[in-house]
Amino acid sequence: MADKLRIKWIKSINGAKEPHRGTIRALGFRRMNQVLEKDASPQVRGMVVSVQHLLEITEVSS
């Protein structure tokens, strides 16, 4: 299992359901095409899975 996840926001939340909008903001995204690296904890993985259609996810090993 990877230590970190590299997450890129690639699809707009315009027209998305309110819980999906909240999840994108809770992950820490501020603008589209922004890339974040998060620890691969079960909580973060669950959030990523719920909005995976809006994101590009890459597992990073250190």
- CATH number at 43 reads 3.30.1390.20
pLDDT attached to residue 38: 96
Query: What's the predicted TM-score (pTM) here?
Result: 0.90
pLDDT attached to residue 2: 72
- The boundaries of the domain holding residue 44 are 4-60
pLDDT tens for residues 12-48? 999 999 999 999 999 999 999 999 999 999 999 999 9
Counting Cα atoms < 13 Å in the Cβ hemisphere of 48 gives 22
Confidence of residue 1 (pLDDT cuts 50, 70, 90): low
Q: Please count the structural domains in the chain.
A: 1
